[in-house]
Amino acid sequence: MSTPDISAELKKLVELQELDKRIFDLKQKKEEVPVLLERLQKAFEDKKANYKSLESNLQKMQLKQKEKEGDLGAKEEGIKKSQSQLGVLKTNKEYQAKLAEIESLKADKSVIEEEILRLMDEIETAKKALDEEKKVLAGEEKVYNEEKRAVEEQAKDTDASLQAEEGKRQIAAAGIDKKILQAYEHILHGRGGVALVQVSNNSCEGCHMRVPHQVINEIKMYNRLITCENCNRILYLEEGE
Ligand SMILES: [Zn+2]
């Protein structure tokens, strides 16, 4: 095996790094998709919960109305029963007592009637609010479905781009010396998708630390790959630097 031409290999790595940066960004974008979808769904579920709570309040009020109507019926029965007993009472005292009992039942009845009327008002208001919320929710659902579809469409585009970039990468990588490629890829996986960085104004563009003159001279010799002493990325110089 002949020793690779480091200068030529670095030029190929620059091209590869461009592709890897794009691939890294596309993969990040791809990973965000389920998070975005979940966030959209959760926001919509919260809006649905508001509707559900209005609905359950209405049901509670309707149940209470039924209870009160039951109580009203019982009072009416009691009044009828007491009135039917009036005719068979022997003494005036008993008669007066029964009349007082009927009056008391009638007073109870009118309190219950008022409560029912108040409940009916509240139920009507609650029904209107629920109808309004239903319309709002239908609008929210439409927006949610549109946003979801947009995210899914974008995810498809991202997948297609990723596939295209990975195809280009395969071709680019095939032309690089195996050992150099291995060294590059080893750094790539641990460094956020950036394994190769330029030295400009005597500093590493990966970590912004100063690169000593000694190291810059070593890069210029093109004997081997030179890495940053701080971030460990492979360093290269633009022509003319
Ligand atoms: Zn560095």
* 84-141 per-position pLDDT tens digit: 999 898 999 999 999 999 999 999 999 999 999 999 999 999 999 999 999 999 999 9
Predicted pLDDT at 190: 84
- Whole-number Å distance, alpha carbon 187 to ligand 1 midpoint, is 12
- Whole-number Å distance, alpha carbon 218 to ligand 1 midpoint, is 15
pTM (two decimals): 0.75
Question: In Å, what is the CA distance from 98 to each residue of 35, 74, 77, 101, 206?
Answer: 73, 17, 15, 5, 99
- Whole-number Å distance, alpha carbon 198 to ligand 1 midpoint, is 9
Q: What are phi and psi of 235, to 5 degrees?
A: -105, 145
- Whole-number Å distance, alpha carbon 172 to ligand 1 midpoint, is 24
Q: What are phi and psi of 208, to 5 degrees?
A: 65, 20
- Whole-number Å distance, alpha carbon 237 to ligand 1 midpoint, is 13
Q: What percent of the chain has pLDDT over 70?
A: 98
The two beta strands, 234-236 and 196-200, are: parallel
Structural domains for the chain: 26-175 (1.10.287.1490)
Cβ neighbour number for residue 152 with a 10 Å cutoff = 12
Q: Does residue 29 have a pLDDT over 70?
A: yes
- Whole-number Å distance, alpha carbon 226 to ligand 1 midpoint, is 11
- Whole-number Å distance, alpha carbon 28 to ligand 1 midpoint, is 23
- Angstrom distance (rounded) from CA 171 to CA 240: 29
- Whole-number Å distance, alpha carbon 7 to ligand 1 midpoint, is 20
